[in-house]
Amino acid sequence: MTSQRTLIAALLIVLALVAPLVAYPVFLMTALCFALFACAFNLLLGYAGLMSFGHAMFFGMGGYFFGYVVKTMGLAPEIGLLAGVGGAALLGLVTGALAIRRQGIYFAMITLAFAQMVYFICVQAPFTGGEDGLQGIPRRALLGGLLPIDSDRTLYYVVLVLFLFGFGLIYRVIHSPFGQVLKAIRDNEQRAVSLGYEADRYKLLAFVLSASLAGLAGSMKALVLQFATLTDVSAGVSGEVVLMALVGGLGTIFGPVIGAFIIVAMQNYLAFTGEFVLVIQGAIFVVIVMAFRKGLLGEFSDWWKRRRAG
């Protein structure tokens, strides 16, 4: 089983390495950014049982922090990335500490409300560029000038490394003792508390971690596409990331990655239909909730198990 998994992982990495030869690097990079975002979201919902419906605030703010540091302050992209992660973490700390005071569906509503507040602030605040956003964020060379990233192909590998770093971190967290406690809290909070775990601390830590990684994903997107706009802090994007995780399979490790690629691809191909993309996304939500709650990967593994058993 483990060797099989290693094999699959190796295969995927090879695939990722050759991918820009067959697909547009910008598409791949965008998808990787959303994949990391979806994995961060999934860490929270799939493994800690916390449904944040406001994750766009971390993703979008990550982009703004990155853009502000790199464009307005003229600093190196690495500092921009750090700012994106740090800023999102701080925002996660504040909103998370408040949101975890309620459970279940209230948690979702509270995160959604805070995200809306952040959105309104972004509309007005001077540093976000308002309706125009931050445009033309320069792609300054990395590593103190040693690694120029003007070429999309080069940048793709940088983004891939960043993605793998984030993904690996999530994988490690899920399989760490911390991840085990999270799952215990998800399955039965009262029991976990009676075993002596301070559930709120664990939840908050998971929230901040997830927010930071979402911030990283948002900064990466700003690095790739060279802009940061209101769209990325809007409720629509908060919904999109839920959809990605849901399509791929909540609580599966690769599911959100698959979901992100599917949704980003769908948006690319259906961009010509304009608003109709929203209708299709909404319909996918409805269909999945009604019929395929485990998502692609979950349903597939069920099917596989049945096939093996039968």
Partner 1 sequence: MLDIFSIPLPALFGQLLLGLINGAFYAMLSLGLAVIFGMLNVINFTHGAQYMLGAFAAWLLLTNLSIPFWASLVLAPLIVGLFGVLIERLLLKRIYHLDHLYGFLLTFGLSLVIEGLFQWKWGSSGAPYPSPIAGGYNLGFMFLPAYRGFVVLAALVVCLATWYGIERTRLGAYLRAATENPTLVQAFGINVPRLITLTYGLGVGLAALAGVLAAPIQQVSALMGTNLVLVVFAVVVIGGMGSIMGSIVTGFGLGLIEGFTKVVYPPASNTVIFVVMAIVLLVKPAGLFGQTK
- Residue 266 and residue 260 in contact, taking contact as beta carbons nearer than 8 Å: no
**How many angstroms separate the Cα of 255 from the Cα of each of 55, 60, 97, 188?**
18, 22, 28, 24
Binders in 227-246 for partner 1, by CB under 8 A: 235, 239, 242, 246
Task: Single out the residue of 72, 293, 302, 305 in contact with partner 1 (rule: CB under 8 A).
Answer: 293
Q: Name the residue among 1, 104, 45 with its Cα closest to residue 255.
A: 45
**How many angstroms separate the Cα of 269 from the Cα of each of 244, 276, 287?**
16, 12, 20
The amino acid that residue 61 corresponds to is M
Residue 204 binding partner 1, by CB under 8 A: no
Binders in 86-115 for partner 1, by CB under 8 A: 98-99, 101-102, 104-106, 108-110, 112-114
Instruction: Using the structure block, give the residue that is written with the tokens 């308002």.
Output: 130
CB of 283 to partner 1, least distance (A): 6
Per-residue DSSP letters for 166-217?
A: HHHHHHHHHTSHHHHHHHHHHH-HHHHHHTT--HHHHHHHHHHHHHHHHHHH
CB of 287 to partner 1, least distance (A): 8
Task: Single out the residue of 171, 284, 299, 300 in contact with partner 1 (rule: CB under 8 A).
Answer: 284
Binders in 44-73 for partner 1, by CB under 8 A: 51, 53
Residue 121 binding partner 1, by CB under 8 A: yes
CB of 40 to partner 1, least distance (A): 18
Instruction: Quote the tokens at residue 78.
Output: 């690495």
Q: Which residues bind partner 1 (CB under 8 A)?
A: 51, 53, 98-99, 101-102, 104-106, 108-110, 112-114, 116-117, 120-121, 123-124, 235, 239, 242, 246, 274-279, 281-286, 289-290, 293
